[in-house]
Amino acid sequence: MLKLPLGEYDIAHYAFEIERNDLGLAGGKQDQYAATFGGVNFMEFYAGDKVIVNPLRIKQQYLFELENNLLLYYTSTSRESAEIIKKQSRNVVDKKDSSIEAMHQLKEQARLMKEALLRGKLNEIGEILDFGFQQKRQMAEGISNPLMEKIYETARHSGATGGKISGAGGGGFMIFYCPGNTKYPVIESLDQFGGRYRRYKLTEHGLSTWTI
């Protein structure tokens, strides 16, 4: 609106500053960079607010298959994500070994996912997501709950090879990897929980602005 000469890194950083400092909401900074840059990226976060966004050149056929096999499921429950994130932060400050080790393993999950996408090993994605799901549970109390555990196990028994809790956890959205046509029996099996389904669509671009 003000026609400021801001690049993607500037915009993402300011969005982070507004949400974290001005509004005082706890959380990371991956969402701001993902939304600003768009596409499929491997993002590296360093001390001192240094962020490097590495765009990944993934074959279109892999992306089509990924879109087809991912199922976005809204649990019809909500939560205050900032409170869960505060618990995660406290566990790190208090040097809770299980939480810190889980964060190291989630970092490894990102590397495994990058390699699987670049090499077209989509059959490994479900297992990688499941690995991350097991680790994320260890980061803080409240990330998962009995309902989400039941939903996850039901999806797995119906054909999903893995999945994840989106965001901080505790409610909201879950994502499942359903190879082939298994998303249809997974959807049918999850009907009992009263949630809703959304098509998973990848976008090649992030924030766009224009003037007329």
Catalytic residues: 31
Q: Report residue 167 as tokens.
A: 């965001």
Give phi and psi for 102, each to the nearest 5: -60, -40
Contacts of range 155-161, beta carbons closer than 8 Å, 24 or more positions apart: 155/71, 155/73, 155/186, 155/189, 155/190, 156/130, 157/189, 158/182, 158/185, 158/186, 158/188, 158/189, 158/190, 159/183, 159/185, 159/186, 160/71, 160/126, 160/186, 161/125, 161/126, 161/127, 161/129, 161/130
